């Protein structure tokens, strides 16, 4: 067990970026609490700030903790790291709604939500592209490529979740059912990727066949990584899908109720034809 937790990676660019971004956000939160935006309570602002900081911490710990070291040895550890960096962390960042605290103009953010289909496709392409054996092997021993992988993962994850989650002051313009369709497409893509690795019998990542890799073959490790990616992606997507379906049902019930009230309150017409009085 001590061997597992002994390897902490001092990735200085990651640590420096984390400290600067966290400090920038906390300074912005302090200013925002002094003059809260309309429609946001102090409790809501504090809760959002905590969620955003948690998202940053998840990403940083995935990179500098022993998981960061073992991700260069085992594909299964790399898959776990990718889920934290590309899915869990960005999801918490979007839920944390840091845009006002970071002084990011809403009109710049809306560019990422203007075309949800394109944004989701781009995010899926980024996730799948880094699983291509050539690119995945290129991250081994090349810090520049590895940092590029991390940055694109975080950016793609934030863009992806912005299409599904309302992140103040941004409001979702797409209907819940439309967003649910985007989720279904992502589930299909992640399932195909996971199945390709789980049921693949050929060694796809020779760069991981090193002297430190022990306990299982690279193919077995590759299959385990596929299962982690498959099920790990499935869980948050299913949760988001259920939430979207519940929102859709709620909107449909509200629409039906409003239509029924309109019918009840509308003045009744006299369907009997008027007849002229007999003299």
Domain presence at residue 214: yes
Domain presence at residue 270: no
Tens digit of pLDDT for each residue in 206-255? 888 877 777 788 899 999 999 999 999 999 999 988 988 888 888 765 55
Domain presence at residue 189: yes
Tens digit of pLDDT for each residue in 34-74? 876 666 788 888 999 999 999 999 999 999 888 888 888 89
φ, ψ at 167 (rounded to 5°): -130, 100
Average pLDDT score over the chain: 83
Tens digit of pLDDT for each residue in 113-165? 668 889 899 999 999 999 998 888 888 878 889 899 999 999 999 999 998 88
Domain presence at residue 272: no
pTM for the predicted model, two decimal places: 0.83
Domain presence at residue 158: yes
Asked if pLDDT for residue 108 goes beyond 70, the answer is: no
From CA 46, how far away is CA 96, in angstroms rounded?
9
Beta bridge partners of residue 170, listed in sequence order: 167
Please count the structural domains in the chain: 1
Asked if pLDDT for residue 201 goes beyond 60, the answer is: yes
Domain presence at residue 276: no
From CA 153, how far away is CA 147, in angstroms rounded?
10
pLDDT category of residue 257 using cuts at 50, 70 and 90? very low
Domain presence at residue 174: yes
Asked if pLDDT for residue 269 goes beyond 70, the answer is: no
Cβ count within 10 A of residue 41: 9
Instruction: Give me the pLDDT at residue 274, please.
Output: 53
Instruction: Please spell the DSSP secondary structure of 129-157, one letter per residue.
Output: HTTSHHHHHHTTT-HHHHHHHHHHHHHHH
Asked if pLDDT for residue 106 goes beyond 80, the answer is: no
The answer to whether 95 touches 165, Cβ cutoff 8 Å, is yes
Residue 134 belongs to what domain range?
Answer: 2-253
Domain presence at residue 262: no
């Amino acid at each position: 067990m001590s061997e597992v937790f002994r390897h902490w990676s001092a990735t200085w660019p990651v640590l420096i970026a984390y400290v600067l971004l966290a400090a920038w956000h906390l300074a912005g939160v302090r200013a925002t609490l002094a003059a809260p935006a309309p429609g946001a309570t102090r409790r809501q602002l504090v809760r959002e700030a905590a969620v955003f900081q948690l998202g940053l911490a998840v990403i940083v710990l995935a990179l500098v903790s022993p998981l960061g070291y073992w991700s260069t040895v085992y594909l299964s550890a790399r898959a776990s790291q990718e889920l934290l960096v590309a899915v869990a962390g960005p999801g918490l960042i979007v839920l944390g709604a840091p845009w006002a605290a970071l002084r990011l103009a809403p009109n710049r953010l809306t560019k990422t939500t203007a075309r949800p289909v394109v944004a989701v496709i781009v995010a899926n392409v980024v996730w799948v592209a880094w699983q291509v054996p050539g690119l995945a092997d290129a991250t081994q021993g090349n810090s520049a490529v590895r940092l590029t992988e991390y940055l694109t993962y975080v950016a793609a994850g934030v863009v992806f979740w912005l299409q599904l989650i309302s992140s103040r002051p941004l409001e979702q313009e797409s209907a819940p059912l439309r967003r649910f369709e985007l989720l279904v497409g992502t589930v299909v893509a992640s399932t195909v990727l996971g199945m390709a690795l789980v049921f693949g019998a050929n060694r796809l990542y020779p760069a991981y066949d090193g002297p430190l890799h022990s306990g299982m073959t690279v193919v077995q490790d590759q299959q385990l990584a596929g299962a982690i990616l498959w099920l790990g992606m499935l869980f948050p997507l299913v949760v988001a899908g259920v939430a979207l379906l519940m929102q859709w049902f709620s909107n449909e019930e509200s629409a039906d109720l409003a239509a029924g009230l309109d019918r009840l309150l509308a003045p009744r017409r006299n369907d009997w034809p008027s007849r002229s009085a007999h003299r």
